[in-house]
Amino acid sequence: MLKQLVDWYLKKLRKSPIFVLISSILALIVFIYQLSVSLEYLTQKIKTFYPIREIVDRETEVNLLQRLDTDLNIDYLKQQIGNPITVKRFQYHTKFCKDFDELIKKGKCSEFNEKITDYYQYIFNRKFYWLNVITNEMNNIIVFFVLAKKENFNFKIKFFSNNKTFFELTHSEPKIVECTASSKEFYYLEEVYLGNPGYYQHFYLGYVEGSGILYNTTCSQSLFPIDPSQDKIRKFRMKCKPNLLGITDIEVCGKNEEVNCLNVNVFIDFLIRRKLWNYY
């Protein structure tokens, strides 16, 4: 009896416009849900396809480098890109006048106090680049250098990118920090200071090649300025694009060469001598 009553009720309800409307809405919801599940599955499959995945990974790394800056905490950086492959601790000794009044009155100091500051160097190995980071005692980044592994990896740090020549990036005569060519390496580094527009940070543009590594066919050994004359430097800067970009915070640049400008030598030496340039 109950079954017959239910059947009679459903037959009446099916003829109702409200029932038809509700059924249509439910069917549409189910269709949309199934479509979204299918699209999500298809998207995941497309992302895992190597050429697409390569583009996605490259774009992710480029966006990450654009956000990278000094004063960021190293723990935050590790959350973004993982753990470094090596960590090195080094100390810097500074002397300051014990009696500041004596320095003001006499212009000299008879006694000095010494302060020892700990710094840490982290080297990260990424798919498209190497990242060298220096932190202070507060674990905040004060120096970092990015070295592209491949010529076709274009990235940008603040105001500078590696898809233009040195001359296009800085038209003025550069302050050359390093210029070395040997059987083991080709290494050129220049410093750029923009003052207030550059937030008083010091920027570094460099070009590095290791033994047996032809990074860029337009920057052959014959172009590399073994003898750093102005003419050779000018020709080199007109044709070559940097594969190394870096930033030094104002708190250390000019005060400690080991921490900022020359520390990149440790980074380059680590990669070239250990033959880790293209290591994945």
Q: Which sign does the torsion angle of CA 118, 87, 151, 258 carry?
A: positive
DSSP category for residue 149:
S
- The reported pTM is 0.71
Res 35: pLDDT = 75
Quote the tokens at residue 178: 């390093």
Res 185: pLDDT = 72
Tell me the pLDDT tens digit for each residue of 184-209: 677 888 888 887 766 778 888 988 87
Cβ atoms 144, 201 nearer than 8 A: no
> Which residue, 53, 65, 194, 222, is CA-closest to 131?
65
Question: Residue 245's pLDDT band (boundaries 50, 70, 90)?
Answer: very high
**129-157 average pLDDT score:** 88
> Which residue, 163, 125, 54, is CA-closest to 270?
125
Cβ atoms 78, 85 nearer than 8 A: no
Q: Which sign does the torsion angle of CA 234, 236, 240, 244 carry?
A: negative
Residue boundaries of the structural domains of the chain: 2-46, 72-83+129-273
> Which residue, 235, 233, 234, 263, is CA-closest to 247?
263
- Whole-angstrom CA distances from 36 to 43, 51, 52 are 10, 24, 21
Cβ atoms 107, 120 nearer than 8 A: no
Tell me the pLDDT tens digit for each residue of 138-149: 899 988 999 998
Q: Which residues neighbour 5 within 8 Å (Cβ) at sequence distance 6 or greater?
A: none
> Which residue, 182, 276, 179, is CA-closest to 236?
179
Res 12: pLDDT = 57
Quote the tokens at residue 11: 């037959």
Helix extents (H) in the chain: 2-14, 17-48, 50-67, 74-81, 100-106, 166-169, 230-239, 263-273
Tell me the pLDDT tens digit for each residue of 208-237: 877 556 677 677 655 665 666 778 888 888
- 60-69, 86-95, 136-145, 198-207, range with the lowest pLDDT: 86-95
- Of residues 43 and 237, more confidence is placed in 237
> Which residue, 100, 91, 96, is CA-closest to 114?
96
Res 279: pLDDT = 52
